Amino acid sequence: MLENISKLNIVRVGSHISFSSLKRIGDGILASFLGMIDQFDVSHHNAPVINSIDAQLLTMVLHQEYGGHTLGITDADLKTQDDDEFYNTIIGGKNPNNDVAVVSTKNLTPDTMTTDNEYNQFIARTLKVSLHEVGHNFGLTDHASYRMGPDGFLCPMSRGEFNKFGYRGYVRAIIDGRGLTFCDECNHFLNRVCRKLTASAKLIADRLVLSA
């Protein structure tokens, strides 16, 4: 589905996070998807400040407004239609019908953000959740088990068991435990997807040359 995989729109929804922080996150995404995403744009989505947003609706709005490969980052609660209250707030999600992923920083913010360490932790968490959701955009699926990346940390696609930890415990155990490099299985998949897309882009270019 991804036609132009090499460019990512990073869209801020709400004004909780600075553009320079978003640029750090964008740089991190580029480093982890090296050779797949080579540029990103940062924009601000003008929307009324609200406490919670329907995740599905937000992905549709962002798709309509920005199109293409898009990552929305908000400080609002992202809600799903799930009846179970425990599951109806999500940290991140991806709409399978378009190429838009969304991340909520609501549960990723440390208790206080006064020191550099706390700020860096906030950026690292937001980056790790973003890598996971952008990974879904490329077709990667969750690892229910704990799978290690080459850096010795959990692969960004590790999901773990949510109901074992609760939100705060989950963020500390799984998200803080994730690294920034994908495991062999994910890398293999990414290489295949990337190569396939590059090959089809080349075929179209060849056809264009032939018919010209």
Burial of 68 (0-12, 13-18, 19+ CB in 10 A): middle
- Residue 21 or 32: the one with the smaller Cβ distance to Zn ion is 32
Q: Is 29 in the site for Zn ion (CB under 5 A)?
A: no
Distance in Å, CB of 181 to Zn ion, minimum = 9
The pairing of strands 100-104 and 92-94 is: antiparallel
Question: Pick from 139, 114, 125, 141: which is nearest to 180 by CA?
Answer: 125
Among 155, 171, 174, 175, which residue sits at the site for Zn ion (rule: CB under 5 A)? 155
d(CA 68, CA 91): 22
Q: Is 157 in the site for Zn ion (CB under 5 A)?
A: yes
- Residue 74 or 130: the one with the smaller Cβ distance to Zn ion is 130
Q: Is 183 in the site for Zn ion (CB under 5 A)?
A: yes
Q: Quick one: tokens of 92?
A: 């991140």
Distance in Å, CB of 158 to Zn ion, minimum = 7
The dihedral formed by the CA atoms of 77, 43, 194 and 144, expressed in degrees to the nearest 10: -10
Q: Is 101 in the site for Zn ion (CB under 5 A)?
A: no
Site string for Zn ion, 122-151 (x = CB under 5 A): --------------------x---------
- Tell me which residue has tokens 């155990």: 173
**Per-residue DSSP letter, 98:** S
Distance in Å, CB of 63 to Zn ion, minimum = 19
List % helix, strand, coil for the chain (3-state, nearest 5).
Answer: 40, 20, 40
- Residue 43 or 80: the one with the smaller Cβ distance to Zn ion is 80
- Residue 65 or 185: the one with the smaller Cβ distance to Zn ion is 185
- Residue 123 or 186: the one with the smaller Cβ distance to Zn ion is 186
Q: Quick one: tokens of 78?
A: 């992202």
Which residues of this protein are in contact with Zn ion, per CB under 5 A? Answer: 142, 155, 157, 183, 186
